[in-house]
Structure 1
């Protein structure tokens, strides 16, 4: 090896190890994508299974989150084309027909979540205006139009504006989650740790808790755009740099979200968690009712608004890229025209859903769940055994761990829908 090659490798290693503002911005963007409104239901959905299932899921959450998203990032970066997005990669590795079907499923798994967030954002702001500010309910058509247009405008302003917006959103979100978790500590109760549990019931509860945990920490919608940005920024060092950022994102997610989950669960009895599940209310709404706390009542809509906004931006990133990729395969229009048409379509669809406020959106979210699990967990691991550039990962224990967790997540979701 020549001196110039050794010097180049040393510079590359130093570039990867050095943490930059660019890396922090993307870490916050991925964190914001993962922490959506679902976090307000996560303590109930996981805690209802009892203390031991909570402990097991807490142990599994970190490896599941990091390894699954690392696998998807490796898959996107395995393309022979430097500018390839998710649509290009699946077509390259699985053929045109299968690739286009996977791309369509990927888009259809993200897009309903955008519709849900459009409705959720409108309802949250409307509720805040009426209940907290004491004003009359604003015109829903105008309110939803302004909110959706505002969110999409951030995405159209470019990557720098988007990353800056995530910084402004995520820091308060993390601070509020940590502050609320600390606020609840005086209400902590000794958990019920009986060892004489029904093994069958315990296994069943744990199985159904896996998909809940998967989607509480999922930032799969932004991974393709994220890896593309790292390849543009770091070139051949995109993979190690992506993995470094993903690792820190996972640590941040696990730290803040699990602390929030444990604090909420330890503040409620198993009976109260069951009651909250039956009432189908968020954990903050239930805590505010049982504690008669105006502080929690005020924080509820603020957390919901920030969480929905940050997750909306991340999911819009994935849906926009996916839709553009599919349209480019079918139409001979310019990239700029395709992007504009796609944005107009998504704006009108999200705005329309926000105005109509349909209850069927919950079902749409459940239907998109299995597809996200397959794309995040199963497809990248299948590619390990199919794609030559990924063959070095075939013997890794992490490959089989993610395949197992993915199978459990998909079957758990499908079972819960029956």
Structure 2
């Protein structure tokens, strides 16, 4: 009788928990950031057919790639170990150092992207919404980065709380904007479909646009920085009670539901923008190097005649929403970059008392990070090109290629070796990585 009660209790406790819902929303909120504001531009740049194909690929990319990374994190013998510990366990200290380097070079270019984005967004907001004469780019970038550096240096705990608070208002704003754009939908995207527009090859062909679109999907649908913490939490909660198999299945369910939410919100936002903007407007937004919300704000600002209440509200609020999203993403990625660079300095440049030099190392890292971000912000390279050539390829190395390599080399992951989805994940990782070489050939 006791055994039956024990089994019944275990089944009851193994049901979906509140913590599972919390983590589903946490993964979802982590992925929804500033990258989403560029996704409609890249996805819509090739027209309707490529974005429809991207829509079909979005969930498999989001779910399968993150599940592969989660399985790697689950393969460690220590249930409290993070991804660095797991890599060192499987590949030794040299492997841990390599991952640390990859992690740093995966996040630092994202800060450069956000530095360019926040400078352009602030300048276009001042020029179009506040009607202020164009300011010197170097001064604006320096002012914004110094303001963020001061906030980071003196109020880190408050900053983290603010970031967490802003996640869901930002998501709500995206959904409301997507719904509110419906009255402005038009058929121009359908009018552009012709034999010339649907060619498979060439610079503007369907295949090239899908290939480049995969990079922005990897960038926009990315919650890999939090996967290690997520898996560690779930292992501590479930593994001792229900075993590794149940823990892996539960993590897969959470990742699946987070991916569904993420794809639904981002793709609805992308389609709503696509049906509102003509192909020429999307190309112009890419050329201006600004977010889709900033472009829409400028578009409604230039409308003559009677404006609707929505167009007036969007004109005033879109750039502010974009600024909030970029600030949120910048702060979150800055902390990861700082920790990674501090670790590299301590590992290679200093062998003494680590606690004694913590503040000094923080200042050195901050100076390098903010200085390099200011230089890139002043140069003002195209943001989508930066994402496609630097941000997304390195993310894919960690998110796609590293787990696939581990499956072939690590005995604990050998049970996943012959899974058909491995080919899909590997292809996504390789195609995204090849964008780096494509951009070099394209520009030079």
TM-score (norm 2): 0.78
Distance in 2 (CA, whole Å) between partners of 1:207 and 1:122 is 28
Spell out the pairing of 1:205-220 with structure 2 (5 A cutoff): 205-220=209-224
Out of 16, 19, 34, the position equivalent to 1:37 is 34
Going from structure 1 to structure 2, the CA distance change for 1:359 and 1:232 (only over 3 Å counts) comes to: farther
Which residue does 1:101 correspond to in 2? 98
Spell out the pairing of 1:330-409 with structure 2 (5 A cutoff): 343-353=362-372, 357-359=377-379, 366-409=389-432
Distance in 2 (CA, whole Å) between partners of 1:170 and 1:340 is 29
- What does the per-residue CA deviation read over 1:27-67, in whole Å, with 9 as the maximum and x for residues that have no partner? 44433432333322221211121211111101111110111
Deviation at 1:346, TM superposition (A): 3.9
Q: Does 1:295 align with 2:294?
A: no
SS in 2 for 1:385: helix
Which residue does 1:309 correspond to in 2? 327
Count matched residues. Answer: 410
Contact in 1 for aligned 2:111/2:373 (Cα 8 Å): no
Which residue does 2:47 correspond to in 1? 50
Deviation at 1:122, TM superposition (A): 6.1
Deviation at 1:222, TM superposition (A): 2.8
Deviation at 1:180, TM superposition (A): 1.0
Q: In angstroms, what is the RMSD of aligned CA positions?
A: 3.6
Deviation at 1:224, TM superposition (A): 2.6
Distance in 2 (CA, whole Å) between partners of 1:13 and 1:389 is 29
Which residue does 1:198 correspond to in 2? 199
Going from structure 1 to structure 2, the CA distance change for 1:140 and 1:289 (only over 3 Å counts) comes to: closer
Out of 67, 74, 78, the position equivalent to 2:75 is 78
Which residue does 1:278 correspond to in 2? 287
Going from structure 1 to structure 2, the CA distance change for 1:287 and 1:134 (only over 3 Å counts) comes to: closer
Distance in 2 (CA, whole Å) between partners of 1:247 and 1:284 is 28
Which residue does 1:3 correspond to in 2? 3
Going from structure 1 to structure 2, the CA distance change for 1:9 and 1:334 (only over 3 Å counts) comes to: farther
Tell me whether 233-242 or 249-258 shows the greater mean CA deviation: 233-242
SS in 2 for 1:358: helix
Out of 300, 314, 319, the position equivalent to 2:337 is 319
Distance in 1 (CA, whole Å) between partners of 2:423 and 2:260 is 22
Distance in 2 (CA, whole Å) between partners of 1:205 and 1:100 is 35
Distance in 1 (CA, whole Å) between partners of 2:25 and 2:16 is 18
SS in 1 for 2:409: coil
Contact in 1 for aligned 2:119/2:140 (Cα 8 Å): no
Distance in 2 (CA, whole Å) between partners of 1:239 and 1:153 is 40
Distance in 2 (CA, whole Å) between partners of 1:149 and 1:235 is 42
- What does the per-residue CA deviation read over 1:359-416, in whole Å, with 9 as the maximum and x for residues that have no partner? 2675765334322111111110121111111112122222221112212222234313
Structure 2 gap segments, 5+ residues each:
304-310
Distance in 1 (CA, whole Å) between partners of 2:96 and 2:49 is 41
SS in 1 for 2:379: coil
Going from structure 1 to structure 2, the CA distance change for 1:152 and 1:56 (only over 3 Å counts) comes to: farther
Structure 1 gap segments, 5+ residues each:
none
Distance in 1 (CA, whole Å) between partners of 2:28 and 2:262 is 6
Which residue does 1:150 correspond to in 2? 151
Contact in 1 for aligned 2:24/2:254 (Cα 8 Å): yes
- What does the per-residue CA deviation read over 1:150-201, in whole Å, with 9 as the maximum and x for residues that have no partner? 34666556xxx84x54442112111111111111111112342847432322
Going from structure 1 to structure 2, the CA distance change for 1:52 and 1:217 (only over 3 Å counts) comes to: same
Distance in 2 (CA, whole Å) between partners of 1:170 and 1:395 is 38
Contact in 2 for aligned 1:118/1:148 (Cα 8 Å): no
- What does the per-residue CA deviation read over 1:90-140, in whole Å, with 9 as the maximum and x for residues that have no partner? 232233334422321221111232344356446655765786567898987
